[in-house]
């Protein structure tokens, strides 16, 4: 699976949009971009995933560049409860035989009041 690069930490003011970048310059044509987050002392939580088109759900939006070498996760109105480590993961369809996730160290997003 392709390696991803994320900033180690970011701050965001409560109520503002949080834009979390991820670089995946070696992504293959059939690999998806997934985002998970992990709130302190909890298990990771799925947020969103996409292949090449922008995606939106009730939690966030995912913007993938046309060349697919980078993406941005957008939390439109960050709250204090969004403070967490956010992981960007690229994965082949069906994750290979196992569908396993390969996590990096993620971005610690601190939402400030």
Which residues are at the interface with another protein (CB under 8 A)? 32, 34, 41-46, 49, 85, 87, 91, 93-94, 97-106
DSSP state for residue 15 in the 8-state scheme:
T
Q: How far is the CB of 82 from another protein (least distance, A)?
A: 18
Whose Cβ is closer to another protein: residue 63's or residue 103's? 103
Kindly state the smallest distance separating residue 46's Cβ from another protein, in Å: 4
Tell the burial category of 11 from Cβ atoms under 10 Å away from its Cβ (0-12, 13-18, 19+): exposed
Under 8 Å CB-to-CB from 99, ≥6 apart: which residues? 91
Q: How far is the CB of 37 from another protein (least distance, A)?
A: 11
Q: How far is 10 from 74, CA to CA, in rounded Å?
A: 13
Q: Residue 14 or 55: which CB sits closer to another protein?
A: 55
């Amino acid at each position: 699976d392709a390696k991803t690069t994320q900033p180690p930490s970011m701050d965001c003011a409560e109520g503002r949009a949080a834009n979390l970048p991820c670089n995946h310059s070696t992504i293959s044509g059939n690999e998806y971009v997934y985002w998970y987050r992990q709130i302190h002392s909890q298990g990771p939580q799925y947020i969103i995933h996409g292949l090449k088109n922008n995606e939106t759900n009730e939690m966030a939006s995912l913007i993938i560049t046309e060349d697919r070498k980078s993406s941005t996760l957008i939390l439109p109105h960050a709250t204090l409860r969004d403070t967490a480590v956010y992981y960007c993961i690229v994965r082949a369809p069906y994750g290979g035989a196992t569908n396993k996730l390969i996590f990096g160290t993620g971005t610690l997003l601190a939402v400030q009041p």
